Structure 1
Amino acid sequence: MSIAPSRLRHCLAALTLAACLAAPTTVNAASSPSAHRPLSPAAACALPGKSGWTDEGHDTDRVQFQPTTGTRRVLTLFVDFPDAQATGSTDAYAAQLAPAADWMRTASYGRTRLALTSLHRWVRMPAASDSYGFERGLTFEAHEKYLRDAITAADPYADFSRYDMVYVVPAKAASAISFSPTYLYDPTTSGVTADGTRIKWAVTFGQDLWRWGPKVAAHETGHTFGLPDLYSFTGPTHQYVGGWDVMGNIAGPAPQYLGWHSWKLGWTRDDQVTCLAAPGRRTVRLTPVERRHGTKIAVLRTGETTAYVAESRRAEGNDRDACSVGVLIYKVDSAGPTGEGPVRVMNGNPAATPPTGCTGLDMAAYTPGQTFTDPDGGVRIDVLAGDGTGDVVRIEWPPRRPGD
């Protein structure tokens, strides 16, 4: 969960995004001069962000959000409170987070590395744990105060100029610090500084760290890269993507970032993307997103901010507990706000009975012989074959009529 600064929240509510974050002008590929070509360069399927915050657009503001490749230097602070004092060492807390580095390296094909450094001492916060307002609806200002208190208390013992990002982990006794929001700085304010450095990105962990482990770090750090929440803020929590991406169900069985996210973050190259941004037909061999090489996604752009994506998924790597394997098909809307379904998985097996630990949407992968169609959007995706190396799909827009 990321909390928008007040200025941006007000702009979002008023839908006056131009006053908040100016979005670059984007040409609709379907109406461009090159629209007659059935196979387009990948850039023609990159969608513009429209929410002014974390979203599925490819034009993420890299001032507001941190770089997505290379080594990200992270300092972990351990804090306790006058009313919730820690007992024992910080070692178990550091060990709980440590696997996040391997998880991120695997997810990014080695292109992003979290260099985790722990300040192994308990830092006492100046106020009681229940005074910081950690509940749903936590304001940006209250969250920033919590971070500022932690940074100020730790400043005598750490040089913050050496790090890109800060993790703050509370003592187990601090039950009032229940969940783990992400801090993204507001460039219009003085913010939080230490050692001459502006603290731009931080994750303040809660007690959910002990339920979900290092995948909480993968989810929240994803927000610092510009990724939105894929779970639902209203209605059934996991109605949109189930457990197919750690930005959705953190505890899901197949939490590897979607191929679309991998492309947005620069982990998947443009030459690993097949793009159909105009009427046409294309057959594509996809290699699983859990593996580094090969074509990762086939994208069928349907509008200025919408597209369908097909990718191959296998039960390996971060997805070793996947409930179904095959071709995952989903719709992306880069104008969709975080928490309101900017990605929606198409369920290829709605009648399946999920085994223990799986949900209906976790069974969504399409297998050879199955077809997805969207008559309204004029889209058809056929799964033609699949084996240990991946899957073959045919994407069409619009679908051909019998006899064509």
Structure 2
Amino acid sequence: MRTSPLIAAALAGCLAFPATASASPARPPSAHGCALKGATGWTDEGHDTDPVRFRRATGTHRVLTLFADFPDARATGPTAPYAAHLAPAADWLREASYGRARLEVTPLHRWIRMPAPSASYGFRRGLTFEAHERYLRDAVTAAEPYADFSRYDMVYVVPAREASEISFSPAYLFDPATPGVTADGTRVRWAVTFGQDMWRWGHKVVAHETGHLFGLPDLYAFTGETHRHVGGWDVMGDIAGTAPQYLGWHSWKLGWTRDDQVACLGAPGRRTVRLTPVERPGGTKIAVVRTGRTRAYVAESRRAEGNDEGAPSTGVLIYEVDSATPTGEGPVRVVRARAHAPGESFTDPVAGVRVDVVAGGGRGDVVRVVRWRGASAGAV
């Protein structure tokens, strides 16, 4: 059983580290030694994201936004307020990615009449892939006379507010084994169909659902207490969280953080690392201690600025990643809700990992990461 963060911190000073832990490697190991392979077959925390099923996260993403109403839920107002409600997502994502991901959104400013009543599409939790694809196909087919789909990489579908049956916002990832949805000689591979929850979540629902198109899993829990794993520390968890900047691990997985911005400890030893806050470009973003074939601990610096201006605390956020844990079951688990301040530590004696926050300040934080035990068999 893992020791709780508070108890582990108290025990840390009582642990005797073997001589191997006192010597730093002669040269910093490659970040590749801390990259994990996915082990779920779908959205997970592995770095080997399927380049066919998922959209690459870097570069410009040309997005066509469609506005849909229904025979039983006809729109009574213009489309402009809908587009304006989601528009800040482009700047949010650009800042979150350090300018390495850009949404180039083109709204088709007309209401597209869907061929079936809104209630017939079955928008309930547990919505099947087939039902979702039918909804997307109907929207694309209705819009095809008015847009050239070959010019776009992704499609967003926004329903009229009158369509209360279209309640939530799932992402659509194509299945290459099926005919799928095509228009203008182009297959629609990636889409988000928004629901009425967009009015509650605001533009950050775009960042969350588009994150799925890039291969990111859900960090909130599908059962039990919803936000027990990461709280509000990543938009893939609590969309309305006060510190929604993508975790440094996600930024690395998506290609927004380079390998040379990752400090890796993949074998017994210790490293002292100066971390630049993840809310800012440049510098070393994460310190990673690999503990097994699919597991690692990550430390990163967080500040109440940029996309995290409402962060509940500042300092070093420490979390465990497991690329074998499925989406919605806690593939990332923050060790405590509050970021760690200088002088504080976290220890997991079972994994043989300790993280000390050595110093902090306006420029970031300094951490010392220690691994005094070899990873489990077959770890690397």
| Fold equivalence (TM over 0.5) | yes
Query: Which residue identity is paired with 1:334?
Result: S
Partner Cα separation in structure 1 for residue 129 and residue 292 of structure 2:
34
Partner of residue 256 from structure 1, selected from 242, 245, 249: 245
1:129 CA drift (Å): 0.5
1:88 CA drift (Å): 1.4
Query: Which residue identity is paired with 2:322?
Result: D
Partner of residue 196 from structure 1, selected from 185, 201, 215: 185
Partner Cα separation in structure 2 for residue 259 and residue 303 of structure 1:
19
Partner Cα separation in structure 2 for residue 244 and residue 301 of structure 1:
21
Superposed, which structure 2 residues align to 1:194-233 within 5 Å?
194-233=183-222
Partner Cα separation in structure 2 for residue 395 and residue 52 of structure 1:
31
Partner of residue 274 from structure 1, selected from 260, 263, 267: 263
Structure-1 residue corresponding to 2:344: 370
Superposed, which structure 2 residues align to 1:68-87 within 5 Å?
68-87=57-76
Structure-2 residue corresponding to 1:16: none
Partner of residue 293 from structure 2, selected from 304, 317, 321: 304
Structure-2 residue corresponding to 1:140: 129
Partner Cα separation in structure 1 for residue 188 and residue 340 of structure 2:
44
Partner of residue 366 from structure 2, selected from 368, 392, 397: 392
Over residues 166-201 of structure 1, what are the superposed CA-to-partner deviations in whole Å (9 max), with x where a residue is unaligned?
000000000000000000000000000000000000
Structure-2 residue corresponding to 1:46: 35
Partner Cα separation in structure 1 for residue 296 and residue 29 of structure 2:
14
Partner of residue 319 from structure 1, selected from 308, 315, 328: 308
The 3-state SS of whatever aligns with 1:231 is coil
Query: Which residue identity is paired with 1:48?
Result: K
The 3-state SS of whatever aligns with 1:173 is coil
1:287 CA drift (Å): 0.5
Query: Which residue identity is paired with 1:341?
Result: G
Over residues 223-253 of structure 1, what are the superposed CA-to-partner deviations in whole Å (9 max), with x where a residue is unaligned?
0000000000010000000000000000000
Partner Cα separation in structure 2 for residue 66 and residue 88 of structure 1:
33
The 3-state SS of whatever aligns with 2:211 is helix
Give the TM-score taking structure 2 as reference length: 0.91
RMSD: 1.1
Partner Cα separation in structure 1 for residue 230 and residue 124 of structure 2:
25
* 1:382 aligns to 2:356 (yes or no): yes
Q: Unaligned regions of 5+ residues in structure 1, if any?
A: 1-34, 348-360, 400-404
**Count, aligned residues:** 350
Structure-2 residue corresponding to 1:60: 49
Please say if residues 80 and 125 of structure 1, whose CA atoms lie closer than 8 Å, have aligned partners that are also in contact.
Answer: yes
Partner Cα separation in structure 2 for residue 36 and residue 49 of structure 1:
27
The 3-state SS of whatever aligns with 1:117 is strand
Structure-2 residue corresponding to 1:185: 174
Structure-2 residue corresponding to 1:96: 85
1:268 CA drift (Å): 0.4
Over residues 39-95 of structure 1, what are the superposed CA-to-partner deviations in whole Å (9 max), with x where a residue is unaligned?
410011000001110000000011000111110000000000000000111000000
Partner Cα separation in structure 1 for residue 323 and residue 126 of structure 2:
24
Give the TM-score taking structure 1 as reference length: 0.86
Partner Cα separation in structure 1 for residue 105 and residue 59 of structure 2:
14
Higher RCO (CA-CA < 8 Å; seq separation 6+): 2
* 1:117 aligns to 2:91 (yes or no): no
* 1:341 aligns to 2:330 (yes or no): yes
Partner Cα separation in structure 1 for residue 216 and residue 166 of structure 2:
23
Quickly say closer, same or farther: Cα 1:336–1:50, change in 2 above 3 A: same
* 1:127 aligns to 2:116 (yes or no): yes
Partner Cα separation in structure 1 for residue 91 and residue 345 of structure 2:
36
Query: Which residue identity is paired with 2:44?
Result: D
Aligned-residue identity in percent: 75
The 3-state SS of whatever aligns with 1:150 is helix
Over residues 130-183 of structure 1, what are the superposed CA-to-partner deviations in whole Å (9 max), with x where a residue is unaligned?
110101010000000000000000000000000000000000000000000000
Partner of residue 155 from structure 2, selected from 161, 166, 170: 166
Partner Cα separation in structure 1 for residue 99 and residue 340 of structure 2:
28
Query: Which residue identity is paired with 2:68?
Result: V
Query: Which residue identity is paired with 2:302?
Result: R
Query: Which residue identity is paired with 1:111?
Result: R
Partner Cα separation in structure 2 for residue 367 and residue 390 of structure 1:
11
Partner of residue 157 from structure 1, selected from 135, 146, 160: 146
Partner Cα separation in structure 1 for residue 298 and residue 358 of structure 2:
16
Please say if residues 36 and 278 of structure 1, whose CA atoms lie closer than 8 Å, have aligned partners that are also in contact.
Answer: no
Over residues 87-127 of structure 1, what are the superposed CA-to-partner deviations in whole Å (9 max), with x where a residue is unaligned?
11100000011101000000000000000000000000000
Structure-1 residue corresponding to 2:16: none
The 3-state SS of whatever aligns with 1:250 is coil
1:36 CA drift (Å): 7.5
